[in-house]
Amino acid sequence: MFEQLQRLEDRYNELEQLLSSFEVFSDRERSNNLARELSGIKEPVSLFRAYKKVLKEVSDLRGVLEEKHDQEFIDLANNELRELESKEKEIEGKLKKALTQEDKDADRDVILEIRQGTGGDEAGLFAADLYRMYTKYAANKGWTTELMSATDNESGGLKEVSFAVKGKDVYRRFRFESGVHRVQRVPTTEAQGRIHTSTATVAVLMEPEEVDLTIDPGDLRIDTYRSSGPGGQHMQKTDSAVRITHIPTGVVVACQDERSQLKNKNKAMRILRAKILDARIEAESKKMSQERKSQVGSGDRSEKIRTYNFPDRRITDHRINFTTHSLEAVLEGEFDEISDALIKAAAEAAEKI
């Protein structure tokens, strides 16, 4: 934690110098971005400085105690030492809270990707159910959603879908949804009433801000092609679909839902930026595994996180051993019960670090 805080303080000092320079002051957009970044790390840096001051006072006082032999002075110094040690623990607790991703990124906008997993057409239908659940939850919260890209399967389900969600507390509520979701139910195509198990994978990507990520246009390969949209009078006659490849990382994003090539390109770029930022955050998290213990689960896309059991009307989150029998309500967008349980578990885990 100390190293992480030291990096934040170094960055804070660097930002102060940059914001006082004429070059940055004359660039309004850059100045605003840097000022926003400075504001975002001000609280932990201020606490860190107070923490270092208390640590020095504790160290100095202990050094004096080793040299003094006057009992009255020793008693007074010990009382002061206890107060300082209590203050040290208090500030340390505030620092841990200030450093959690939940507090820092609670209001960040996100892009959710849902892909059908194992189970064929039934997995696609389940992916569509998850999409409907999340969008209804967003509507209940007063958030706005924007469809970015979608591919149907033959049964009316979804092979994959990407959509953006904007609003207060969006990341805080969605951050634990990444992973494999499993459904157990009788498919409509099953004549003998046997229960099948299918899966869908969810990825939650933070939408980057300008201060988070800069992409060199020279690192991009952009291809256009004719989208496989509806026929008839709406048949695509131009190469409006866009595929963007980020050459250094190999990340590929395609978008074809809009009839405008420019709109498809803009949406694809938003998804690409979110994917690259997500990869960087994941790489950083591996280096700072101790600080990331506050998170629920590993965040691995292959981790099975939740089971939706239709015969028992039960949803179980395996990471925190949480079960609710309100399956229908949850699928209709009443998701706070699960979200609250996950947020509480993460906060309790953070306190143990």
Q: Which comes out higher in pLDDT, residue 296 or 25?
A: 25
What's the pLDDT band for 288 if we cut at 50, 70, 90?
Answer: very low
Which pair of tokens denotes residue 324? 């609710």
In angstroms, the CA 140 to CA 98 distance is 29
DSSP 88-153: HHHHHHHHHHHHSHHHHHTT--EEEEEEE-SSTHHHHHHHHHHHHHHHHHHHHHT-EEEEEEEEE-
User: What per-residue confidence (pLDDT) applies to 325?
Assistant: 96
All structural domains of the chain with their residue ranges: 2-99, 107-211+288-351, 217-286
Mean pLDDT of the chain: 84
Which pair of tokens denotes residue 134? 């999340």
**Does the structure show a pLDDT above 70 at 300?**
no
Residues 6+ apart with CB under 8 A from 348: none
Top mean-pLDDT range of 195-199, 342-346, 347-351: 195-199
What's the pLDDT band for 289 if we cut at 50, 70, 90?
Answer: very low
Between 209-213, 218-222, 273-277, 313-317, the lowest mean confidence (pLDDT) is in 209-213
Task: Look up the CATH architecture of domain 107-211+288-351.
Answer: 2-Layer Sandwich (3.30)
Average pLDDT over residues 190-198: 82
What's the pLDDT band for 208 if we cut at 50, 70, 90?
Answer: confident
Q: Is residue 200 within 8 Å of 114, Cβ to Cβ? A: yes
Could you check whether 107-211+288-351 and 217-286 share the same CATH topology? no
Q: Note the pLDDT tens digit of each residue in 305-341.
A: 999 999 999 999 999 999 999 999 999 999 999 999 9
User: What per-residue confidence (pLDDT) applies to 302?
Assistant: 67
**Does the structure show a pLDDT above 60 at 201?**
yes
State the residue for tokens 């009382």: 79
**Does the structure show a pLDDT above 50 at 4?**
yes
Average pLDDT over residues 156-165: 93
What's the pLDDT band for 292 if we cut at 50, 70, 90?
Answer: very low
Burial class (CB in 10 A: 0-12, 13-18, 19+), 188: exposed
In angstroms, the CA 194 to CA 191 distance is 8
Average pLDDT over residues 105-130: 91
Q: How many residues does the chain have?
A: 353
User: What per-residue confidence (pLDDT) applies to 180?
Assistant: 95
User: What per-residue confidence (pLDDT) applies to 24?
Assistant: 82
Give the closest residue to 209 by CA, choosing from 108, 133, 332.
108
Give me the torsion for CA of 313, 179, 142, 345, rounded to 10°. 80
* Edge-to-edge strand list for the sheet holding 251-255: 220-225, 241-246, 251-255
Q: Report the relative pairing of strands 304-309 and 314-317 from DSSP bridges.
A: antiparallel
**Does the structure show a pLDDT above 50 at 217?**
yes
The CATH number corresponding to 217-286 among 3.40.50.920, 3.30.160.20, 1.10.10.10, 3.20.20.210 equals 3.30.160.20
Q: Is residue 86 within 8 Å of 136, Cβ to Cβ? A: no
Top mean-pLDDT range of 39-43, 84-88, 197-201, 250-254: 197-201
Long-range pairs for 311-319 at CB < 8 Å and ≥24 separation?
311/184, 311/185, 311/186, 311/195, 317/341, 317/342, 319/176, 319/345
Q: Note the pLDDT tens digit of each residue in 23-52.
A: 888 887 788 778 877 877 888 899 999 999
Is this model's pTM higher than 0.75 or not? no
Q: Is residue 287 within 8 Å of 3, Cβ to Cβ? A: no
Which stretch of DSSP H or E encloses residue 59?
Answer: helix 28-67
Q: What amino acid occupies position 250? A: G
In angstroms, the CA 252 to CA 242 distance is 11
